[in-house]
A and B are shown apart, each in its own frame.
Chain A
Amino acid sequence: MSESSWEELVTAALLGTDRRTTPVGTAGKDAPTALLDTAAVQTVRRRAGLRPASAAALPEPATEDRRPALPSAARRRLAVLLADRPDAGSGGRRGTAPDLMELLPQWLAAANEHGYAAPPDLLPALLDAARGRTDLRPQTLAFAGPRAIWLARLNPDWRFALRSTPGGGTAVPALGDPVEVERLWQEGLFAERVTLLVAMRAQDPSAARDLLGTTWSTERAEDRLMFLDSLRTGLSDADEPFLERALADRSRNVRATAAELLSALPGSALASRMAARAASCVSFDHTQTQPTVVVEAPHECDAGMERDGVVPKPPAGRGERSWWLGQLAEAAPLAIWSERLGGRKPEEIVALPVADDWQGELHGAWCRAAVRQRDAAWSRALLGAPASPGAAGPGAVSLAERAKLLAALPAGERAEWVAGFISAHGLSEAFQLLGVCATPWAEPLGHAVVDALNIARDAGSYPWSFSGVMGLAERCLDPATAARLDGLTAIPDEPEDASPGAVGYWSEAFQRLVGTLRLRATMRAELTAP
C-alpha cells in the first residue's frame, strides 16, 4: 500500500466514517473496525519500514586538547564539587559539612597550575557553573580549554565563553596571519575586534597599538573608550605618543582615560606637567617651630589642566579648589615629594603636620596615587602601624583605602600587617582586609585569625556574627593548620554569660573549618598524584 493511502486513512479517521466513505474494503466488518484493522497494519508497517535520515553537515571537530588527563581521584572530586550546585532557598544553618561549591575556584586554580585537561563529560556542568558565577569564568575557561569554546558555539547558553576568552569568537591562529588580522579588524563585529585587540596586546603590545592607530579617527566614541581601555595591559612608555594624541580627543571620557593611563607612566610628559602643577601647590614652612607642610590649592582650572584630564566641576558639596588639588596630587609621580619636602622619606613626609586642615585632602590624594602607581614604600607609610586605630592613623584612611594600599605591598608583608591589625582590633573589621591577602594565608596571619576566632567564641557570641571571616578561613587557611584546630571542635562547658547554645554552634563551625581544610589538603594531593 502506498503512502497516500495512509494519508487517506488519516483523513477518513479525522472526519469520521459516518461522514466519509472508508477507503478500505470492509469485507463484512463495520466501517470503523475495518479502518482500525487497516490502520494497525499500516502503523506497524510504517514503523518497521523506518529508514534513517540523511546526515546533516557534521560539525568541525574540536581542537585537540593536548594537556594530560586528570588523575582519576581528582576527576571524581571535580564531579562531586560540581554536583553541589547551590539552589535557591536552601538557607538555614550551614551544619558541619564543607561548602563544596566554594572550593571550586581553588580547585580550578590548582588544576590549571598543573596544566591538566578538563574531562569532556564534565564540561557542560563546568560551563553551567561559570554561567551563573562570573568570578569563576576566567579559571573555568582556562581549565575547560578548546573544547568548551567549541561547545559554546553550539549552545547559546554558554555564549559568555566566546566573549570572555581571547580569540574565543574568532580563530586564535589568526594572530599570526596579518591579512586575516587586518580583515577581522576592518570587518569584524565590535566584540570580535575587542577580543582581537586584547589577544594581540597580550602578545605584542606595539603591534596592537599600531593596529588601533590605523582606524582610531574613524571609530565611534564609545568604541574608542573600550579600545583605549584594552591598552592597560602591557602599558609602557612606548604608548605615550599615542596617549598624548588621545588627550585631544573629542570625547571627555576618552580624554580622562588617556590621562589616567599617562599618569601611571611616571616618565611621561603628562606626569611631569602634573608634577610641576602639584609641586607648586605644596611647600614647606621652615619658619614654624616644627616644620609644616603648607598647601596653596590652585585658583583656577586652566585649559592645560583640563586637557590633562582634570575634571573642572567638583561633585556636589565639595569646594572647587580642593577638588582640583586632589586631582593634581593624585596624578603626580610620588617621587617628587621627597625632593619637594627636604629629602624626607615617605613615612617622614606622612608624619609632617599639614597647615590649615589640608591633611585629609592631601593624604587622600597620596593614597590614590600610591594605589595607582603601585608604590610599596608610600603604601607602607600611609598604612601606618597596624595596631593604630583606623581614624587616627597617619593617613586617616578608611578600611577600603587600606585594603587597596595593602595590595601594593609584597604578600608576606601584607599578611603580617593584617595579622597585626587583627591582633589589635579583632575580626569585626578585618573581612575586607583579609580579602586582599594571598592564599593560603601565610603565618602569622593564620595564627592571628584562629586566635581571634577562639577569643570570639570565649566571649560567648554566636558564630554567625563571624560567618564572613569563617567562610574566608575555610577557603584560605593553610590546610596544615587543621591539626592545631582539632582541639577547638570539642564542645566545652558553656560559660555563664554565653548566648544559649553558642558553644554547640561554635563546635559545629570549627568542625566545618577543620573538615574543609582536610578536604582541601586531599584535593591538592589528588591533583599532584601521577
Chain B
Amino acid sequence: MAGPTFDDMTQQGVRWTADQVLALAPDAASRKAGSRLGAAGPWSETGSSGDGTVWGLCKGSGSKPYQTVVDIADTAGPAYKCSCPSRKFPCKHALGLLLLWAGGDGGVPDAQAPEWAEQWIGGRRQRAEQKRTAGPSPATSGDPEAARRRAEKRAERVTAGAMELEQRLADLLRSGLASAESSGYGLWEETAARMVDAQAPGLAARVRELGAIPSSGSGWPARLLEECALIHLLDQGWLRREQLPDSLAATVRSRIGLPAAAAGPAVRDRWLVLAQYDTADSHLTTRRIWLYGEESGRMVLLLSYGAAGRAPALALPVGLALDAEVSSYPGAGQLRADLGEQFTPPTPTAVRPAGVSTTQAVARYGEALKDDPWLESWPVTLDRVIPAPDGDGWQLADADGKSALLLASSAMSGSGLWRLVAVSGGAPVTVFGECGHRGFTPLAVWPEGPGEPIPLC
C-alpha cells in the first residue's frame, strides 16, 4: 500500500478537499448552505480525533447551539449526527463542519472527543463490532420452500410480461416504426406500466425509453429499431434462459430487473474512487460510483438509490482511495458490486488506472458486449489524449496517433467538459470515462504532470 504523500497529513489521516466534502451534499441548496457554515464564525468547541471523528457546536437561531458530529471512518461512508431539526442528510451543519475541517486552518484542532460525541461514536462502533462478530445475518427468514414458490410465481409473471411485450413489438414492426412517431409517449407509458405489473422493472425502463426516441432528431428510426431489437433479444433471453450458460442467464435476470445479491467473494484492495454521479427520474435517484482496485486492476460499480428528491445514502470522496472489501453481483459482464467492510478512512493515492488508446477503448467495449449485449458503455481510462473541438462537438484525440473518440452529446452540457478542456490546455491528459455506442462520457481527468484526479461529473 503506497503511503499517503499529502503535505498537510496529520495524525488522524488526511483531510479531504472542499470538493470532496461538497460532493456529500444531498442537493444544491445544502451545498450552498453548508459552504456558508464552513468558516470559523458560528463554530465553537470543534475538534477531531485520530480515529476519524469530527465534532463541533454550531450556533443557530436558537439559544442552544447544535451538536454536530461526523464519523468519517465508517465502513459505509461517512455517518452524521446533528441535533438540528433538518431532515436533509447530511445537514448543512455536518457539511459546514467537514468544510471547516477540510480547510485545515486550525479551525478543527486535534482533541479528545467530548462526552456527547463520544457516546454516539461509541454506540456506533459497538453496534458495528457486534454485527461483525455475529457474521452475516442469516438469509431472509422464512422457510426456503416458500421463497422458492414466490420466485416461481414471479418468474411466471415475467414470462407473461415478456410474451406480451414480444407481441407488441411484433405488432409495431408489422405496421411500421413510422406509426410510433404519431402514437407518442402514451403507447409506451401504458406498455411500461404493464411491465411494472409483470414485475419486470428492467423491461419497463427500456420500454419507457422508447417513447423519447421518435422525437430525438435525425436517424431516430435506426435508433428505435436498435432498442426494439435489444428488447426482443432480452425477451428471448428470458424465455430461453434454461438453455443459456449460467452466467449469461444471470445477466439476463439482472437486465430484466430481478433482485440479486452481491454473492461474490469479498475482494480486499485499495479502491480508488474514480467518479460519483447521480441520475434521476421522477421516482428514483440513482447514484453510480466507479472504483478502481489498485492491486487487482479491477473496475467495479457501486449503485445506491434514493427515493425521489432524496440523496442516495452512499457517498464516497472522489480522488481518494480506501482499503476495503467489495463483493460482486452475479452475471457475465456485470461490474456491479457492493462495498463491504472499510478498513481505513480514505486517503490520497498517486496510483492511476492503466490507460489505453482510443482504438483499444472501443475494442474493450466490443469485447464486453460478448458477455452482455445490452451494455450501453464500458469504463475505460484513456492515456495521453487531447480534447479537441470537432464541429459542434468535442473529441478526445490520441496525442500520438490519428484516432479519436467523440464525446457523447450528454457530456457536452454542464461544467465537466470545460474543466476537462481547462485541465488539458491542449496538452495530453489521462481521462477516465464510459465508452459506448453513444460516444465517450468523461468522468475524471488527471493532468499531464503529477496530481489528483479531477472529477468531471
Instruction: Write the residues of chain A forming the contact surface with B, with a CB cutoff of 8 angstroms.
Output: 6, 9-10, 13-19, 30-33, 35-37, 39-40, 42-44, 46-62, 72-73, 76-77, 79-80, 83-84, 87, 90, 95-98, 100, 120-121, 123-125, 147, 150-151, 154-155, 511-512, 514-516, 518-519, 522, 525-526
**Cβ of B178 and Cβ of A147 under 8 Å apart?**
no
Which chain B positions have C-beta within 8 A of A519?
39-41
Q: Is B36 an interface residue (CB 8 A)?
A: yes
**Cβ of A121 and Cβ of B232 under 8 Å apart?**
no
Q: What are 27 A-B pairs at a CB distance below 8 A?
A: A17-B173, A30-B170, A32-B174, A33-B170, A36-B169, A39-B232, A42-B229, A44-B233, A46-B437, A47-B437, A52-B359, A52-B362, A58-B386, A61-B425, A72-B8, A77-B18, A79-B19, A95-B36, A98-B39, A98-B41, A120-B422, A121-B423, A121-B454, A150-B426, A151-B418, A154-B421, A515-B40
Which chain A positions have C-beta within 8 A of B169?
32, 36
Q: Is B434 an interface residue (CB 8 A)?
A: no
Which chain B positions have C-beta within 8 A of A514?
41
Tell me the minimal C-beta distance from B223 to chain A in angstroms.
Answer: 10
Known A32-B173, A36-B169: A512·B22 in contact at CB below 8 Å: no
Contact of B175 among A18, A123, A511 (CB under 8 A): A18
Chain B 386-402 residues near chain A, CB threshold 8 A: 386-391, 395, 397-398, 401-402
**Cβ of B225 and Cβ of A13 under 8 Å apart?**
yes
Which chain B positions have C-beta within 8 A of A61?
425-427
Q: How many angstroms between the C-alpha atoms of A60 and B362 in the bound complex?
A: 26
Task: Of the listed stretches B83-91, B102-110, B205-213, name the one at the interface; the rest are far from the partner chain.
Answer: B102-110
**Cβ of B389 and Cβ of A35 under 8 Å apart?**
no
Task: Of the listed stretches B118-126, B243-251, B364-372, name the one at the interface; the rest are far from the partner chain.
Answer: B364-372
Which chain B positions have C-beta within 8 A of A52?
358-359, 361-362, 403-405
Which chain B positions have C-beta within 8 A of A96?
41-42, 59
Which chain A positions have C-beta within 8 A of B36?
84, 95, 97-98, 100
Tell me the minimal C-beta distance from A111 to chain B in angstroms.
Answer: 16
Residue on A with the closest CB to B360?
A52
B 412-448 binary contact with A (CB < 8 Å = 1; else 0): 0001001101110111000000001100000001010
Known A50-B437, A79-B19, A125-B415: A36·B173 in contact at CB below 8 Å: yes
Contact of A526 among B18, B105, B367 (CB under 8 A): B105
**Cβ of B35 and Cβ of A83 under 8 Å apart?**
yes
**Cβ of A73 and Cβ of B17 under 8 Å apart?**
no
**Cβ of B366 and Cβ of A35 under 8 Å apart?**
no
Which chain A positions have C-beta within 8 A of B175?
16, 18
**Cβ of B174 and Cβ of A9 under 8 Å apart?**
no
Chain B 37-80 residues near chain A, CB threshold 8 A: 37-42, 59
**Cβ of A40 and Cβ of B40 under 8 Å apart?**
no
**Cβ of B222 and Cβ of A80 under 8 Å apart?**
no
Tell me the minimal C-beta distance from A133 to chain B in angstroms.
Answer: 18
Which chain B positions have C-beta within 8 A of A44?
230, 233, 369, 373
Which chain A positions have C-beta within 8 A of B388?
55-59
Tell me the minimal C-beta distance from B407 to chain A in angstroms.
Answer: 11
**Cβ of B362 and Cβ of A59 under 8 Å apart?**
no
Known: A52-B359, A79-B18, A83-B22. 12 other contacts (CB 8 A): A13-B173, A13-B176, A16-B174, A36-B228, A39-B232, A47-B437, A55-B398, A59-B389, A72-B7, A90-B32, A97-B36, A98-B39
Contact of A522 among B103, B166, B415 (CB under 8 A): B103
Q: How many angstroms between the C-alpha atoms of A62 and B426 in the bound complex?
A: 6
Tell me the minimal C-beta distance from A140 to chain B in angstroms.
Answer: 14
Which chain B positions have C-beta within 8 A of A97?
36-37, 39, 41-42, 96
Instruction: Name, among A56, A77, A514, the residue most crowded by chain B CB atoms within 10 Å (CB to CB).
Output: A56
Tell me the minimal C-beta distance from B380 to chain A in angstroms.
Answer: 12
**Cβ of A56 and Cβ of B404 under 8 Å apart?**
yes
B 152-175 binary contact with A (CB < 8 Å = 1; else 0): 000000000000001001111111
Which chain A positions have C-beta within 8 A of B171?
32
Residue on B with the closest CB to A11?
B221
Which chain B positions have C-beta within 8 A of A98?
36, 39, 41
Q: How many angstroms between the C-alpha atoms of A60 and B402 in the bound complex?
A: 16
Tell me the minimal C-beta distance from B61 to chain A in angstroms.
Answer: 8
Which chain B positions have C-beta within 8 A of A121?
419, 422-423, 445, 454
Q: How many angstroms between the C-alpha atoms of A30 and B170 in the bound complex?
A: 9
**Cβ of A55 and Cβ of B401 under 8 Å apart?**
yes
**Cβ of A80 and Cβ of B395 under 8 Å apart?**
no
**Cβ of B402 and Cβ of A10 under 8 Å apart?**
no
Q: How many angstroms between the C-alpha atoms of A81 and B103 in the bound complex?
A: 12
The size of the chain B interface, using a CB distance under 8 A, is 86
Tell me the minimal C-beta distance from B252 to chain A in angstroms.
Answer: 13
**Cβ of A83 and Cβ of B170 under 8 Å apart?**
no
Query: A-B pairs with the 9 shortest C-beta distances?
Result: A515-B41, A16-B176, A61-B426, A32-B173, A39-B229, A97-B36, A55-B397, A62-B425, A48-B366
Which chain B positions have C-beta within 8 A of A151?
418, 421-422
Q: How many angstroms between the C-alpha atoms of A239 and B174 in the bound complex?
A: 85
Q: How many angstroms between the C-alpha atoms of A256 and B15 in the bound complex?
A: 61
Residue on A with the closest CB to B404?
A55
Tell me the minimal C-beta distance from A122 to chain B in angstroms.
Answer: 8
Which chain A positions have C-beta within 8 A of B409?
none
Residue on B with the closest CB to A56?
B390
Tell me the minimal C-beta distance from A42 to chain B in angstroms.
Answer: 7
Q: How many angstroms between the C-alpha atoms of A58 and B401 in the bound complex?
A: 11
Chain B 293-327 residues near chain A, CB threshold 8 A: none
**Cβ of B41 and Cβ of A511 under 8 Å apart?**
yes
Which chain B positions have C-beta within 8 A of A58?
386, 388, 397, 426
Q: How many angstroms between the C-alpha atoms of A154 and B426 in the bound complex?
A: 11
**Cβ of B178 and Cβ of A15 under 8 Å apart?**
yes
Which chain A positions have C-beta within 8 A of B401?
55
Which chain A positions have C-beta within 8 A of B365?
47-48, 50
Q: How many angstroms between the C-alpha atoms of A44 and B104 in the bound complex?
A: 51
Tell me the minimal C-beta distance from B399 to chain A in angstroms.
Answer: 8
Tell me the minimal C-beta distance from A442 to chain B in angstroms.
Answer: 25
Q: How many angstroms between the C-alpha atoms of A302 and B426 in the bound complex?
A: 63
**Cβ of B40 and Cβ of A53 under 8 Å apart?**
no
Q: Is B177 an interface residue (CB 8 A)?
A: yes
Which chain A positions have C-beta within 8 A of B10?
none
Known A39-B226, A55-B388: A120·B447 in contact at CB below 8 Å: yes
Tell me the minimal C-beta distance from B202 to chain A in angstroms.
Answer: 16
Residue on B with the closest CB to A53?
B404
Tell me the minimal C-beta distance from A220 to chain B in angstroms.
Answer: 35
Which chain A positions have C-beta within 8 A of B445?
121
Which chain B positions have C-beta within 8 A of A31?
173-174
Which chain A positions have C-beta within 8 A of B173?
13, 16-17, 31-32, 35-36
Residue on A with the closest CB to B104?
A73
Which chain A positions have C-beta within 8 A of B194?
none
Tell me the minimal C-beta distance from B33 to chain A in angstroms.
Answer: 9
Q: How many angstroms between the C-alpha atoms of A77 and B99 in the bound complex?
A: 10
Q: How many angstroms between the C-alpha atoms of A512 and B389 in the bound complex?
A: 46
Residue on B with the closest CB to A50?
B362
**Cβ of A55 and Cβ of B174 under 8 Å apart?**
no
Tell me the minimal C-beta distance from B447 to chain A in angstroms.
Answer: 7
Which chain A positions have C-beta within 8 A of B404?
52-56
Q: Is B241 an interface residue (CB 8 A)?
A: no
Q: Is B268 an interface residue (CB 8 A)?
A: no
Instruction: Name, among B39, B59, B406, the residue most crowded by chain A CB atoms within 10 Å (CB to CB).
Output: B39
